[in-house]
Copies of this chain bind each other. A is one copy, B any other.
Amino acid sequence: MARVTLLTDFGAADGYVAAMKGAIATVAPSVIIDDAAHDVLAGDVRTAAWALAGYWRIYPAGTVHVAVIDPGVGGSRRALALEADGRFLVGPDNGVFTRVLQQVASVRMVSIEATAFMRDVISSTFHGRDIFGPAAAYLATGTPLDALGPEAAEPYLLPLPQPRRSVDAVHGEVVHVDRFGNLVTNIPLVWMTAGAVVRIGAHVLPLRRTYGDVESGAPVALTGSHGCVEISVRDDDARWVLGADVGVAVSLTGLTRGGPD
């Protein structure tokens, strides 16, 4: 049986996560449920999309990933189930899959509408428990994707900032700050060339391999675990030390060519 993972903004004090797990366990009593993260800020779909992109394909094929950051619950947004690269994803059609969809060439997608795969009573405020959890459990136990509802197209995509390239530079920005204060940018590492440097505010940083390549307290540009340029401060929090946050401009300059085509 496949595993199910849960990503939510439910926190760890209210019991909502457990209600989702119970709904899953009722359908699939022996399924293993892995908590991905539950402390995403309430309604922060952008951060959830970033987090999900970092693990969904690290899991083996067959895994079912549930993402419930769902401020529009009970409204007109669709409930989606996707299959991409052999993994399944379940959640609201509010952009939470934006980065996943950027990473794959093709995807199958349905709108979850078959009530046979939902809880008997559907609330209008808790679809994680009543719709998404059960759908994930059915997928984990072998229910085919298209049993859940009709084929769907045109998922909502977050308007993520795109890096701009010029002849010898790339202009991007910070798109996520993690728990360590690392500034994750939207500049793919594949655009870096020998001799190029990373600029943020007044800082000009060569790309290094790891934190230990600079002195404690010094800023450093690195290859982040998502494959983009990250800016860190060794043994400290780059957000505070550099006074930067999501949206702050970052550039690569001195490129010997504009990057790959």
A interface, CB within 8 angstroms of B = 3, 5, 7, 9-19, 21-23, 25-26, 29-30, 32-43, 47, 50-60, 63, 71-76, 123-126, 129, 178-181, 209-212, 222-225, 230, 235, 237
Determine whether the beta carbon of B211 is less than 8 Å from that of A50. Answer: no
Determine whether the beta carbon of A23 is less than 8 Å from that of B223. Answer: no
Determine whether the beta carbon of B73 is less than 8 Å from that of A211. Answer: yes
Determine whether the beta carbon of A12 is less than 8 Å from that of B30. Answer: no
- Copies of this protein in the assembly total 3
**Which residue of B13, B47, B63 is within 8 Å of A13 (Cβ)?**
B47
Shortest beta-carbon distance, A53 to chain B, in Å?
8
**Which residue of B38, B73, B225 is within 8 Å of A126 (Cβ)?**
B225
Shortest beta-carbon distance, A133 to chain B, in Å?
9
Determine whether the beta carbon of A129 is less than 8 Å from that of B19. Answer: no
Determine whether the beta carbon of A40 is less than 8 Å from that of B13. Answer: yes
Determine whether the beta carbon of B224 is less than 8 Å from that of A125. Answer: yes
Determine whether the beta carbon of A211 is less than 8 Å from that of B18. Answer: no
Determine whether the beta carbon of B223 is less than 8 Å from that of A123. Answer: yes
**Which residue of B35, B209, B224 is within 8 Å of A74 (Cβ)?**
B209
The CA-CA distance from A223 to B122 in the complex, in Å, is: 12
Known A73-B210, A75-B210, A235-B43; judge A124-B22 contact (CB<8 A). no
Determine whether the beta carbon of B225 is less than 8 Å from that of A19. Answer: yes
Determine whether the beta carbon of B37 is less than 8 Å from that of A21. Answer: no
Across the interface, name the chain B residue whose C-beta is closest to A212: B75
The 10 closest A-B pairs by CB, nearest first: A74-B210, A15-B51, A75-B212, A22-B58, A18-B36, A22-B59, A11-B179, A18-B55, A12-B39, A124-B210
**Which residue of B18, B57, B225 is within 8 Å of A123 (Cβ)?**
B225
Sample of 14 more A-B contacts, CB < 8 Å, known A26-B58, A32-B32, A126-B225: A3-B25, A9-B179, A9-B180, A12-B38, A13-B51, A15-B50, A16-B54, A22-B58, A43-B235, A72-B211, A73-B210, A74-B211, A75-B212, A125-B224
Determine whether the beta carbon of B52 is less than 8 Å from that of A15. Answer: yes
